[in-house]
Amino acid sequence: MSYTFEAVIKNKLGIHARIAALLVKTVNKYDAEAYIVFHGDKVNVKHLIDVISLSITQNSVVEINIYGTEAAQCSEESQQLIENSFGEMP
């Protein structure tokens, strides 16, 4: 099973280290592989440094691709995390 969604990063500082770590932690809870695509670069969400290296800024649109047996649950939680600005003020 696979899921793909686009999301707008609303956080003032974009995806910085703490936020990237939250995303990595969320994806690692599931039997799933997740990739984030930004400006043509695709990285594995389970690799913190790779996610940070994308330099995703506020109001950027990213694509998230999730595959695996628990892709639905992983996708749902990841979308919710992003939509809620990772628990930060946008």
85: helix, strand or coil: helix
Q: Which residues of the chain have pLDDT under 50?
A: none
27: helix, strand or coil: helix
Q: What CA–CA distance (Å, rounded) separates 50 from 70?
A: 22
pTM for the full predicted model? 0.91
Q: Active-site positions?
A: 16
H helical segments located in the chain: 17-28, 48-53, 71-83
Q: How far apart are the first and last CA of the chain?
A: 32
